[in-house]
C-alpha cells in the first residue's frame, strides 16, 4: 500500500533500470532476470517501469511480453524511435500489458539534427507529429521525449513539445541526455515550457537526467521545482556512461526534505536496500561503499568525534534512519579513527564494564590492533579481553610464486597459532589466485573474493605496496589489508588479516560456549 503525503505534489517515479540502466556496459539482463527485477520494482512502488526497446532486439521483445503478462497493476512502458516500424514493434510488444505506455523519442538539438539525423527542423517536427499520432492509434498513454532537449534551441524545443501535445502525447519528457545542464537552468527551462507551450497544463512533464557531471539528482530535483511531475530514474543510478539519476537518492531527498520540495512519491522506501542489492546480484555490478543511501558505509561511523555525537543523539550525524531505507541499523565501525567513547560503548554492549584504568589499557591495545587491521570486530575486542588472544593467528614465514605451464603456482610456508610450520602448494589462473588457493588450503579457511585492489603507499625508497580486499565468508563480508615492499606478499598479508580475524571469532565463540 502506498502512503503519500496528501499535502504534497505527487511525483511519478518512472524507472528505466531495465532499459537505459541495462545499456550500462556489463549490465545486460536476460528476459527472466528482467522479470525478477520488474517484480521487485513493482513491489518497491514505482509508477512506470520501462521494460526495454523492442525494435532493438528479440530479447527486449521477449522481456516486454514476459513482464506484461505478469505485472497487471504497474504501467509498463517500451521505448521507440520516431519511426513507423519501431512504433509498430513496440505496440506488438505491449499487446499483453494491462497498463501499456508507448514512449517515442527523437533528437531535437541542432548538433543531433545535423550530424545524427541529417534532418531539418521541419522534418523533425513532421516526424514527431506523425509518429506520436501513430502511437496514439495503439495506446492511450503516449510519452514523447526530446532527445538532447537541454541543448536544443528553446524556440524549437517549444515547437517540438507543442506538436507532440497536439498529436496526442500525454507525457512530455525533456532529457538532459549528456548531463550538460545545471540545476538553475533546468528549473527555469521547465517553468518556461509549462508557462508558454500550448496545452502544457494538460500533460505531465518529465525529466530524464544523466550524471556526466555528477548533477543528475540535483537537476532532477530542480526540474521538480520547475513543475515536472515525473522523474526518470534507475536503481543504483546505472545507465549510459556515468549513469542516470539514482532512484534511491532522489526519493530520499524528497522524503527527507519534503517541507522544502513540497513533493512526495509512492515509493516504499524500506524496500530500497533490498532492491538495490538484488540489482547488484543480477548484473554483477556492486555499488561503491560510500554510495549515498545504499552503500555499505552510508550509515557507518568510524570517526571518534562522530561516534561520540551519535552516542549522545542520533540526529547529530544522521539525517535519516537506516531502517527507513532497509538497513537494519547504524554501524559504529571501530577502527583507527575511533575514540574511547565508542570502544567503551561496544565493550559494554558485549557485557564488559571496565574501570578507568582497565579501559585505558584495553584502549591502548585496541589502537595497536588498528595498526594491523582496518576494522576491529566484536570478536577482536573479546580477544583483547582474554589477555594474549590477539597474538593468535597464522603468520607468513615465506612464499614463492611461479609458473606451472599455463597456470600459476604458489607455495606458502606459515606458522600456525601453536607455532607449528605449515607448507602448502596450489595452482590458479594467476599468481594471486594461486596464492589465495594455497593460503586457503593451509588454513582451512575458504574465503570468496569479492574485490581486490593494490596501490602504492609512500614515495621513493619508502614506497610500499598496499593490498585491500573484500571477501565473503558464511554470508558476511570482511575487509582485509596488508602492506609490504612486495605486492604479492602484501596480498597474502591482507588475506591472512581476514583469516586471523575469523580465527579469533571462533576462539571467542568457543570460550563463550564453555562459559555458558
> Known binding site for Mn(2+): residues?
20, 208, 210, 244
Residues annotated as binding site?
A: 20, 208, 210, 244
- Residue 457 pairs in a beta bridge with 464
- The two beta strands, 171-176 and 204-209, are parallel
Torsion angle in degrees (nearest 10) through CA of 149, 150, 151, 155 = 70
Handedness of CA 166, 167, 169, 173 (dihedral sign): negative
User: Residue 486 — φ and ψ, nearest 5°?
Assistant: -105, 125
Q: Which helix (H) or strand (E) holds 497?
A: helix 487-515
* CB of 202 closer than 8 Å to CB of 165: yes
- The two beta strands, 230-233 and 12-15, are parallel
**How far, in Å, CA of 12 to CA of 46, rounded?**
8
* CB of 156 closer than 8 Å to CB of 108: yes
For residue 122, the SS3 value is helix
Q: How far is CA 305 from CA 273, 346, 359, 456, in A?
A: 27, 15, 18, 29
Torsion angle in degrees (nearest 10) through CA of 370, 372, 373, 378 = -60
| b/e map 154-182, b = 16+ CB within 10 Å | eebbbbbbbbbbebbbbbbbbbbbbbbbe
Q: How would DSSP label each residue in 272-287? A: HHHHHHHHHHHHT-PP
Burial class from Cβ neighbours inside 10 Å (0-12, 13-18, 19+) for residue 119 reads middle
Amino acid at each position: 500500500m502506498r502512503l503519500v503525503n496528501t499535502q504534497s505534489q505527487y511525483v511519478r517515479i518512472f524507472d528505466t533500470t531495465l532499459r537505459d540502466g541495462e545499456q550500462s556496459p556489463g549490465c545486460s539482463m536476460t528476459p527472466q532476470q528482467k522479470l525478477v527485477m520488474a517484480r521487485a520494482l513493482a513491489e518497491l512502488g514505482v509508477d512506470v517501469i520501462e521494460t526495454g526497446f523492442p525494435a532493438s532486439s528479440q530479447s527486449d521483445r521477449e522481456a516486454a511480453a514476459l513482464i506484461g503478462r505478469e505485472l497487471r497493476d504497474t504501467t509498463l512502458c517500451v521505448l521507440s524511435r520516431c519511426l513507423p516500424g519501431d512504433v509498430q514493434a513496440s505496440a506488438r510488444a505491449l499487446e499483453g500489458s494491462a497498463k501499456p505506455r508507448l514512449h517515442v523519442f527523437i533528437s531535437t538539438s541542432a548538433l543531433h539534427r545535423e550530424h545524427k539525423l541529417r534532418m531539418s527542423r521541419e522534418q523533425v517536427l513532421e516526424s514527431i507529429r506523425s509518429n506520436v499520432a501513430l502511437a496514439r492509434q495503439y495506446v492511450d498513454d503516449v510519452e514523447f521525449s526530446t532527445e538532447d532537449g537541454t541543448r536544443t534551441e528553446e524556440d524549437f524545443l517549444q515547437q517540438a513539445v507543442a506538436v507532440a501535445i497536439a498529436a496526442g502525447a500525454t507525457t512530455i519528457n525533456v532529457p538532459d541526455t549528456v548531463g550538460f545542464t545545471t540545476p538553475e537552468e533546468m528549473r527555469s527551462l521547465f517553468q518556461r515550457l509549462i508557462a508558454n507551450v500550448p496545452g502544457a497544463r494538460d500533460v505531465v512533464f518529465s525529466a530524464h537526467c544523466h550524471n556526466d557531471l555528477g548533477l543528475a539528482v540535483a537537476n532532477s530535483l530542480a526540474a521538480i521545482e520547475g513543475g515536472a511531475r515525473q522523474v526518470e530514474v534507475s536503481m543504483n543510478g546505472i545507465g549510459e556512461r556515468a549513469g542516470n539519476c539514482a532512484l534511491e537518492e532522489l526519493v530520499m531527498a524528497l522524503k527527507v526534505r519534503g517541507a522544502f520540495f513540497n513533493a512526495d512519491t509512492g515509493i516504499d522506501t524500506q524496500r530500497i536496500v533490498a532492491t538495490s542489492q538484488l540489482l547488484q546480484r543480477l548484473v554483477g555490478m556492486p555499488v561503491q561503499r560510500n554510495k549515498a543511501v545504499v552503500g555499505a558505509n552510508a550509515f557507518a561511523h568510524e570517526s571518534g568525534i562522530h561516534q561520540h555525537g551519535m552516542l549522545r543523539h542520533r540526529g547529530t550525524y544522521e539525517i535519516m534512519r537506516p531502517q527507513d531505507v532497509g538497513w537494519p541499523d547504524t554501524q559504529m565501525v571501530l577502527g583507527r579513527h575511533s575514540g574511547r567513547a565508542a570502544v567503551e560503548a561496544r565493550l559494554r554492549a558485549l557485557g564488559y564494564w571496565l574501570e578507568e584504568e582497565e579501559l585505558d589499557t584495553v584502549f591502548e591495545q585496541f589502537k595497536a590492533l588498528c595498526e594491523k587491521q582496518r576494522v576491529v570486530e566484536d570478536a577482536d575486542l573479546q580477544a583483547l579481553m582474554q589477555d594474549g588472544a590477539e597474538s593468535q593467528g597464522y603468520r607468513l614465514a615465506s612464499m614463492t610464486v611461479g609458473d606451472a605451464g599455463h597456470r600459476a603456482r604458489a607455495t606458502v610456508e606459515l606458522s600456525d597459532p601453536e607455532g607449528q610450520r605449515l607448507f602448502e602448494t596450489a595452482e590458479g589462473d594467476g599468481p594471486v589466485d594461486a596464492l589465495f588457493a594455497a593460503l586457503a588450503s593451509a588454513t582451512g579457511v575458504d574465503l570468496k573474493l569479492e574485490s581486490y585492489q593494490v596501490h602504492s603507499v609512500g614515495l621513493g625508497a619508502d614506497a610500499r605496496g598496499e593490498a585491500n580486499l573484500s571477501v565473503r565468508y558464511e554470508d558476511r563480508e570482511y575487509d582485509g589489508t596488508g602492506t609490504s615492499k612486495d605486492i604479492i606478499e602484501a596480498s597474502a598479508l591482507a588475506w591472512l588479516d581476514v583469516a586471523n580475524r575469523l580465527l579469533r571469532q571462533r576462539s571467542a565463540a568457543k570460550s563463550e560456549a564453555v562459559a555458558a
